[in-house]
Chain A
């Protein structure tokens, strides 16, 4: 199988993409929305045409509202993000935004207290950690009966290898959309809010499905080999499993991606970044299960195999006395 054979090439390609994402995250970081930092977000629109940004900035600058960011939203609106404003302060802002000769509509006004924001941020981290932990436990549990490859003719890896590989792949699937967010935050002012955390948690639960489909086939093929007493290298078994399942892995992700793309294109401004995060995560989840998860199993098995043969060589030299070996040989001769 292509992905198994050229696994080192794919490791490099995926590594480069992941490193780019990580780099973007480290250099720019993500911008957290007011859900997490606290503050006020005002969403206004001007159905009769919106005034220039400069005009609004001129009217907002004299106000004592600290640093603010003003971004266009859609065709006729703006987002204004400031520190938490009280009623009186917001009234001044509203005055400033209602430029004479325009028709101001207040679409949405959100104020989040700093304590709630901090609380939610902690919750988000805990939630992601708990989901990751539960998935690794579940995968390890679901694959507990897999053939583990304890003897020479029956290669395989332990069920924990399946669990940890899933998590490694999941970390990658989260890294890619987060890296995308670092870019979007830098160049388009995108912010990580509660919706985005929801998308990330959904990706965690969903993108592991592709990996499970492939692992399940590996499990089944290993079992069948055992029943048929067929001898096959682990990399061949994984490769065969992959070529049997890649079409369905792609199809399942594809149908979900279709809906997410429909949401992205037609769903309106509220869910745009949510859909984009999901799309990136599902996309990353699909190629990572093909080109990362399955090949990683092969790599782990190869490492274990190497260790075991080294260990066996060592034991045969030091532990086993020559007489014992002779006895064994004699037995065989008889």
Chain B
């Protein structure tokens, strides 16, 4: 109930926006190729829901798989780096260099390496999630001050004891922030990769419909993508609250 009330103003704003949009389109007689109204877009979604639905499943699958692969590798690497500082020193140059390159620049490379199937999308999504989660988790694992570490040591905790009882809980908020930033990034990375080369998926529909000057379908695909990302984001926020209940 509280949750419902908290999203009420946002829902109101969305409804007002849609109504204004529709009214403006009808009033000024804006042609569809510049900006179709919400009803026209809904109509187009109704016509091609089968194609949109099956593409959406592929896109969401790729985005989620990429997200999981990227996040798991990132958390594993961050823990490894904290346990063995030598690894951190050796791999930092790669992380720093990769981090300054925009992930979209790697899309052609992913397509050349992994082909047009789902693996190139999973790869690029994993990469774009990986760096942000890795840097966040690493920062989080290092938050406990040395006094707290010393205290646990004096009670006989080993490296893993310190990690499990102190560092991991301390890293949770930063880790969750990383995940939250990472999820939309993985969706965007997947759609961008699909636009440049794929057999199916929302990005590919957008690309093809643009080429066929079918802007209603472009808008319908964008709408579907927005709703899907919002749902994913909502689920993630709900999981966050369970994971970091103390903040």
A binds B: no
